[in-house]
Chains A and B, each alone.
Chain A
Amino acid sequence: MSRSASSAPALHRRPAVRALRSLLAGLLFALCTLLAISPPVHAEDFDYRLQPRELAPGAWVVVGLKEDFSFANGGNIVNTGFIVGSEGVIVIDTGSSKRYGEQMLAAIRRVTPLPIVLVVNTHQHPDHFLGNQAFPRATLAALPETIAAIRSEGEGFNANMYRLNGDWMRDTEVVVPERALAAGRQRIGGRDVELRALGGHTVADLVVIDHDSGTVYAADLLFHDRTPTTPHADIARWLAALDTLEGLPARRWVPGHGEPATDLAPLRQTRDYLGWLAQTIRAGAESGQDMTELFQTPIPPRFAGLALVNEEFRRSVVHLFPAAERAVLEAARAKASR
């Protein structure tokens, strides 16, 4: 196969991107004029228009879109947060790009002049750590497994994010956090904060509890009206982590994707979907279905409100079916050889 032949589809796509940009700009303009709302992102000036919301005194969140990464949204599809104590600021995830990190820091500065004392990356996925460049290196911290994963997979993630988000990613580089976090409750920045080391969405998922306000920053252990994603998931462990979360004395929940909540709706949604997903994949493997047949599984109507449910379900089949299939087929072989 020749290089020139192989690049043909990419060449064809470039004019479409340009057409897309102008179309999109026009659409956005029309929409904004019509509805008199401010756009969530603005592709011309690469401004994410980050607007921190104070959920409780000192407990802030920056809510992203319930979408997939794209040039249109610049990767602003994640919730980040920060906690302002009496002496300093704790930052929870840094967003999807250098620009996001810089704009997040600027947004924090509009709220408080206090120093940044701790910046955590809740887990290894790129929308949670690619803004690290904007923050002081010594403040960057994560669970040890997360640090290892960012070190080994970060570059691959970053390359993919450039492809997905285009020029929004300019100058973004992987900065691996150096400080390894341990679970525990302590005063940080003058605030009563607890770190919990859970897992299941990825190998390690950090939960930050702000006891002063009763706010639980659950990161991607919780999705709200947005379908959970599973490329590094261990569903059984994730479900166990949800049980742990449910036992926390929380007054409000910040999911990794979707609106914050003052009730258990995000937790129940995430649990319901993951339970159905695991059962569907297990049943498919046990009944001898092929992966392409499993793709056709009807999605129950109760999940219709989860953004991207059709796309994410099929991705999850690709992620999770091979292990389920392997378990069924290896058990059958063990039985046959007895």
Chain B
Amino acid sequence: MTPSARPALAWIAAATTALGMLATAAAPALAASSVPAASTPAPSTSTAPTAAAGTQADPLDSPRWEDMRKSFFADATVVFDERVRVSGPAVAEDSLNVPVSVDASGLPAVEELIVFADFNPIVKALRFEPGAAQPRLGFRIKLQQSSPVRAAARTADGVWHVGGAWVTATGGGCTLPSVGSGSPEWQERLNEVNGKLWPRVDGGERLRMRIIHPMDTGLAAGIPAFHIEDIVITDAEGRTLSRIQPLEPVSENPSFTLDLRAAAPGARLHVAGRDNNGNRIDAWVTR
């Protein structure tokens, strides 16, 4: 059998899942408030009923929610909304690469989406301006420990709609050095974009891309924060289509999945951007 390669990974999976399930039987009230996502081994797509988040309790019952609300939304209107879906594994097998998809396509006119994890040492993971893309994005993040992973979508009326899911992790994903920081490969290939387009049956275009970058958090001793901070996707005519602004918790060599509403003219897209040291990203992606 087979624990993970990383020192402290989600082999806890099974135990936690079993504990969660049995705890539910033994002490329902306790389980409901302590290990929501761990109680099912299925991928979690957990959401919450719509309610004013200022007055309604956090459906994920995180002691950090009030801090999250204050720091991200200040005086804006915030609602928990099941139309904002966060999908990921209930248990993170690899705390350095926790796959997450956020989807707010059930909402009208999403202008901006942010993703954060309450218990990460760096809470905010990324910001996404969908523009000409569907308001949904796939990516991977580092998790320091079990945490709610939340997405908040701001609609044109200025209201923030919040959804999320618990992900169980034991990994120290944010305080480990990147693999890249210990190898020369990233220096030669830094900001190299490997991407591909797939036409979609709905007439749109899927973009998947992986960018070579260590995405160091600055929390590993002696390794400063070093991460991509801006990615702009434009079409062949130079029109800006969409924008992703990753932060430190996004995984090393980040990969993104996004769906543009229309087919790309000439079946190609341009990806431009930079990291926090000013190194440029500049590449074409084709089918």
Query: A residues near B, CB below 8 A?
Result: 1, 5-6, 8-9, 12-13, 15-17, 19-20, 23-24, 67-72, 77-78, 125-128, 153, 155-157, 159-161, 163-165, 220, 229-232, 256-257, 287-288, 290-293, 295-296, 308, 310-311, 314-315, 318-319, 322, 325-326, 328-330, 332-333, 335-336
Contacts and interface: CB of A to CB of B under 8 A. Distances in A.
Nearest to A321: B99
B138 A291 contact: yes
Q: Output the residue of A23, A292, A322, A329 with the most chain B CB within 10 A.
A: A292
A23 B19 contact: no
9 contacts: A13-B34, A17-B19, A19-B30, A24-B22, A69-B14, A156-B3, A160-B11, A288-B196, A332-B196
A12 B34 contact: yes
B15 A71 contact: yes
B2 A229 contact: yes
Given A20-B26, A308-B14, 11 more contacts: A1-B123, A5-B119, A12-B35, A163-B170, A164-B12, A165-B15, A230-B2, A257-B1, A291-B138, A293-B138, A319-B93
B232 interface: no
A203 to B, nearest CB: 11
A5 B43 CA distance: 25
B100 A292 contact: yes
Interface in B78-102: 87-89, 93-94, 97, 99-101
Interface in B4-34: 4-9, 11-15, 17-19, 22-23, 25-27, 30-31, 33-34
Nearest to B34: A12
A330 B283 CA distance: 13
B64 interface: yes
A257 B1 CA distance: 8
A160 B42 contact: no
Contacts, number: 194
A164 B14 contact: yes
B217 interface: no
Contacts of A165: 15
A220 B22 CA distance: 29
Nearest to B145: A6
B35 A9 contact: yes
Contact of A69 (B15, B22, B88): B15
Given A325-B210, A336-B285, A290 B2 contact: no
B140 interface: yes
Given A125-B3, A256-B1, A318-B89, A164 B15 contact: yes
A6 B118 CA distance: 9
A322 B99 CA distance: 11
Interface in B88-146: 88-89, 93-94, 97, 99-101, 119-121, 123, 138, 140, 144-146
A317 B195 CA distance: 20
B186 interface: no
Interface string B45-73: 00000000000000000011000000000
A161 B170 CA distance: 13
Contacts of A256: 1
A19 B26 contact: yes
Nearest to A319: B93
B34 A330 contact: no
B147 to A, nearest CB: 9
